[in-house]
Amino acid sequence: MMRYSLASTQRFFLGAWLVCSMLQPSVVLAAGQMFWDWPTGRKFQEVELKGTAVSEHGFLVPGFSTDELGPNGAEVCWRSVADGKGGFYTGTGHAGDLYHTNSQGETKVFVQLEGSEVFSLHVLPKGELLVGCGPDGHFYHVNAKGESTLLGQIPGGYVWAITATEDGRTAWLGTGSPARIFRYTSSDGLEEMATLPAQNVLDVMQDEDGTLLVSTQGPGLVYRLNPQGSGQPWLICETSQDEVRQFIRGPEGQVFFLALNSDAAGSDAGAADALSSGSVPPSLMSLFGTLEEPVVEKAVLFRLEENNGYSQWWSGNLELMIVAWSPQWGWLGGGPLDADDGQSVVHRLAPPAGHHPLAAWPGGDILDLTVMDDSEILVSQAHPGGVLRLGLEGQEPLEAISPSLDGGGPVAWGRLNWDGVSGSGKPRFSVRSGNRSVPDETWTSWSDSWTEENHALDLPDSRFLQWRVQMPRPPQGAEKQWAITSVSVSAWQYNKKPVIRAFTIENISDVSMGGLMGSSENVTQVFDSGLRVEFGRKSSAGNRVEPRRAAFTRPVRVMTWQAVDANLDRLLYSLEYRRAGDDSWRSIVKETPEQLGSWDTSEVEDGRYHVRVTANDRLDNPGTLAQSSIREAGPMLVDNTAPEITRFKIEKLPEGLRISLRAQDKASVLSQAFIRLPDGQRQRLDPVDRICDSRREDFHLEISWPMPGRQPGLEPAQLRVEVWDLYGNVAVAEGEAQ
């Protein structure tokens, strides 16, 4: 609380509560040394992975090379399946094209189908295919020559999944909407086996016991069915997720299924549903307390156990659309394009809840992962469509590129330090820099590469930097490979002067009694800017303040300012004043963090004064490194002296009173005058020229007295005159009619 001593006919001690909103930085980042540290301050997951990966321990390691295989021109590649000869087929949209890519990477349109979306593929012996389409539910047989035969159609449906016997004479189709299972035989064609209480059947798999496993969406259910269609489907699992996307053969041939939450609210409201539905008597509602909404994870991988049991194998909040099992790489997952960095990412899933990037590239949404052999993975993408091959063999360098490091302004770059677990060869680092956040032609070229762990950076002063590491390619069969365990980049940020954006001497627009602090005796000043200042006074008997006496707070002048620091240094402010014509500055406030100060001008003589505020950043910059800025305001007039009243005379007339006086002020113009009549009534007193707008005014007034209908008051008649100047100083004169 701040205290002021105001010199007047009576001394008051006022505490001021300053009710305002001031701008203060929330992050402290001083000038001087700066560091960017991986993986302590940042994560390797944010770097661009080009043939590199992030290990389960969070280190950079050699990873997949990426080769674009086509098809070109397709907007969506829904599904890819191996052809058994080193190549693969790809079902696309939105033109109904089925592509084939041979073992040499040559891609061509294999067949054009009537359905616009090729969703499901099943490879038969001798290069034949069963193909499911949408949105018109076409079901095709395609021979090895690329000739198609329409086997049937599910009106208005989508064929999401196909499985078949080895000879292809019997097939089962998962469709929607609604969720239905169809069986196809070469003799009887298509026939409906079952309709399930869901929107879509998303996958169908034959289990080792010959039964069918069926997964649905809306809600996420798993069923078993008799492949002959006899008997009722029996429910194995209802997940909390909205859809069960796929079945996967995992390690040792076990069956897993992927459940995804496409409904943010989840599908299992449990007891909350019971309460909201009214099934619980109102008298018992209080016994349930507050029920929290269930937490539904975005993705869960379940393992099917014996006797139709199931267990949670992995879970996480990754945005997934597909998973795959690779004997060499383990569980892999992919999903929508990362909106933050625009990269497609294949994650390695580490049960029970871990995950880390295995490969990343500028691409599209990942819709399918196909394991070709132990070391190669096909990735089918959308927007843009295409198929990538992830493998260990490739011509491109295995490298990782950091995001642009931002120094906040031109900085002197220091050194790059790195550490790692050794393998064959040695990683090579290089850097580049510039003054735009996205590298362009204005940036420097990549520097010559180096291998030493501690390297001085030879770069011009600039705001942004990127580092790049190129990993040695592990030799065939190598047991050890390099892992980058840490990277650190240092820089020196030059200290910049703070900038004082605004410095304002607040002008009072209103003064009133009372305020926010709850005391009716407090005085509140309202300024033109909206700032409110409340003064609280010490309470003591016989020391009351009338509303008109609120002007006793007038000598306290309030200044506000706004300042920013490019280095986000903490700032301290000092406020000073000097009289016009003098050179020396005197202190008002010393080194406060607040962007507001007050000056009790009752302690100085009337006259014109200048004020200034100084902002300094010494808290975060030692010694001579500190910077300061000054902003001055003024001159402002200090007038704490009341006007002088002379020639004051009250004459008694036969039917009234005559009042005359002269008022004069040395510093400012007069602003208003009042007369208090003998009966206590108060009225405006106008000067001879009718307007109070000069430093000297003459007043002459004749009034009828006593006025009709009013008591004459005490005799002889007592009158009181108040004359105010523009700065709120008041002169008072009292007298008797003679």
- Classify residue 640 as left (phi > 0), alpha (psi -120 to 50) or beta: alpha
Query: Which residues face 18 on adjacent strands?
Result: 533
Q: Return the percentage of the chain with pLDDT > 90, whole number.
A: 49
Chain mean pLDDT for the chain: 83
The answer for residues whose C-beta is within 8 angstroms of residue 308's C-beta and 6 or more apart is 224, 234, 236
Contact call for residues 60 and 44 (beta carbons, < 8 A):
yes
Residue written as token pair 């650190």: 488
The pLDDT of residue 525 is 64
- By mean pLDDT, which of 269-273, 454-458, 503-507 is the weakest? 269-273
pLDDT tier for residue 292 given thresholds of 50, 70 and 90? low
Rounded CA gap, 484 and 494, in Å? 31
Mean pLDDT of the 178-199 span: 92
Question: What pLDDT is attached to residue 511?
Answer: 56
pLDDT attached to residue 514: 61
**In the predicted model, is pLDDT for residue 521 greater than 90?**
no
Is residue 291 scored above 70 in pLDDT? no
Range in 156-165, 286-295, 545-554 with the lowest mean pLDDT: 545-554
User: Which tens digit of pLDDT belongs to each residue from 304-334?
Assistant: 998 888 999 999 989 999 999 998 889 999 9
Residue 312: its pLDDT value, please?
A: 94
Question: Tell me, what's the pLDDT at 8?
Answer: 30
pTM: 0.61
pLDDT score at 452? 96
First to last CA, the chain: 52
Question: Mean pLDDT highest for which of 162-166, 239-243, 268-272, 445-449?
Answer: 445-449
pLDDT digit string, tens, across residues 392-418:
766 567 899 999 999 988 999 999 999
Dihedral over Cα of 692, 693, 697, 700: its sign: negative
pLDDT over 70 (residue 482) = yes
Query: Using an 8 Å Cβ cutoff, are 366 and 77 in contact?
Result: no
User: What confidence score (pLDDT) does residue 527 get?
Assistant: 66
pLDDT at 93: 86
Whether the per-residue pLDDT at 121 is higher than 90: the answer is: yes
Please tell me whether residue 213 adopts helix, strand or coil conformation. Answer: strand
pLDDT in tens, 635-671: 989 988 899 999 999 888 888 889 999 999 988 899 8
Q: Is 241 exposed, middle or buried (0-12, 13-18, 19+ CB in 10 A)?
A: buried
Q: Is the pLDDT of residue 622 over 90?
A: no
pLDDT at residue 551 is higher than 70: no
pLDDT of residue 251: 92
Cis amide prior to 177 (ω within 30 degrees): yes
- Report the C-alpha gap between 532 and 689 in whole angstroms: 36
Helix (H) or strand (E) holding 359: strand 354-361
- pLDDT at position 38: 94
Residue 23 has a pLDDT of: 33
Closest CA to 99 of 74, 62, 128, 130: 74
Q: Are 725 and 643 in contact (CB under 8 A)?
A: yes
Question: In the predicted model, is pLDDT for residue 448 greater than 70?
Answer: yes
**Confidence at residue 29, expressed as pLDDT on a 0 to 100 scale:** 54
Whether 543 has a pLDDT exceeding 80, the answer reads no
pLDDT at 613 over 90: yes
3-state secondary structure 412-479: EEEEEEEEEECCCCCCEEEEEEECCCCCCCCCCCCCCCECCCEEECCCCCEEEEEEEEEECCCCCCCC
Q: Spell 617-639 as b/e; 16+ CB within 10 A means b.
A: bbebbeeeebbebebeeeebebb
Q: Is the pLDDT of residue 25 over 50?
A: no
Range with top average pLDDT, 13-17, 281-285, 585-589, 703-707: 585-589
pLDDT tens readout for residues 659-713:
999 999 988 899 899 998 887 788 899 999 999 889 999 999 888 877 776 666 6
Asked if pLDDT for residue 487 goes beyond 90, the answer is yes
**CA 708, 713, 716, 717 torsion: positive or negative?**
negative
Q: Above 70 in pLDDT, residue 484?
A: yes
Q: Given this model, what pLDDT does residue 710 score?
A: 66
Q: Which residue has better confidence, 358 or 503?
A: 503
Measured CA to CA, the distance from residue 141 to residue 150 in angstroms comes to: 6
Could you tell me the pLDDT band of residue 293, with boundaries at 50, 70 and 90? low
Residue 657 is predicted with a pLDDT of 86
Return the minimum-mean-pLDDT range out of 21-30, 292-301, 718-727: 21-30
Q: In the prediction, which pLDDT does 540 show?
A: 43
pLDDT in tens, 207-265: 988 899 999 999 999 999 999 877 789 999 999 999 999 999 999 889 999 999 975 43
Q: State the average pLDDT over residues 151-171.
A: 89
Predicted confidence at residue 709, as pLDDT, reads 67
CB crowding 667-678: b at 16 or more within 10 Å, else e: bbebbebbbbbb
Which residue ranges form the domains of the chain, and what is each CATH number? 2-28+498-638 (2.60.40.10), 66-269+295-391 (2.130.10.10), 415-490 (no CATH), 644-736 (2.60.40.650)
